[in-house]
Amino acid sequence: MKLKLAYFFILLSAFLLVDTACTNVQVDLTNPELVVQKFLEGQATNNRKVVNALLTDDLQKRFKEQKLYLNEREGIGKGTLVESKTLLAWDEEDKKVYQLNYSVQYKKDNETKKKGFKEAVSLTQQDGKWYIDDYFPDKN
């Protein structure tokens, strides 16, 4: 009985370790350009874990309250980032603003569609890491 209980705990520990490793979001927060690119990918693919990992706590709350996730705002479901261009519009030591021009390809009603967006994000540096602290969505 003790041996079965030990195997159970070993299996449970292994499952928890694998589950935790799969849910962690790996993003290089020291590079603001990578943060912006991951944000675009997360928005396009409806990966809220990635998007939330890049946002300040205040902006996370705003995303939920104002339904700023791309799939909620546009009703396009999970898509693919097919084109992206970012332009650094404001550059200070601990503050950056990027203009975002990107396209998302998605399926709707068994039809492949593509939609383009022009938006902006503001990043702030906290303890050597960059986080998105403001978001200006496309106002179609």
Sorted by where each begins, the domain ranges of the chain are 30-136
What are the pLDDT digits (tens) for 17-27? 444 334 477 88
Q: Are strands 95-108 and 129-136 parallel, antiparallel or unpaired?
A: unpaired
* CB within 8 Å of 21: residues ≥ 6 apart: none
Average pLDDT over residues 62-88: 96
CATH code for the domain defined by 30-136: 3.10.450.50
What is the structure's pLDDT at 23? 47
- Residues above pLDDT 90, as percent of the chain: 76
Terminal Cα-to-Cα distance of the chain (whole angstroms): 65
User: Which tops the pLDDT comparison, 52 or 16?
Assistant: 52
Instruction: Give the global pTM.
Output: 0.81
Q: Is the pLDDT of residue 72 over 50?
A: yes
Query: Is pLDDT above 60 for 110?
Result: yes
Q: What is the mean pLDDT of residues 99-109?
A: 96
Residue 19's pLDDT is: 40
Contacting residues for 9 by C-beta, under 8 A, at least 6 apart: none
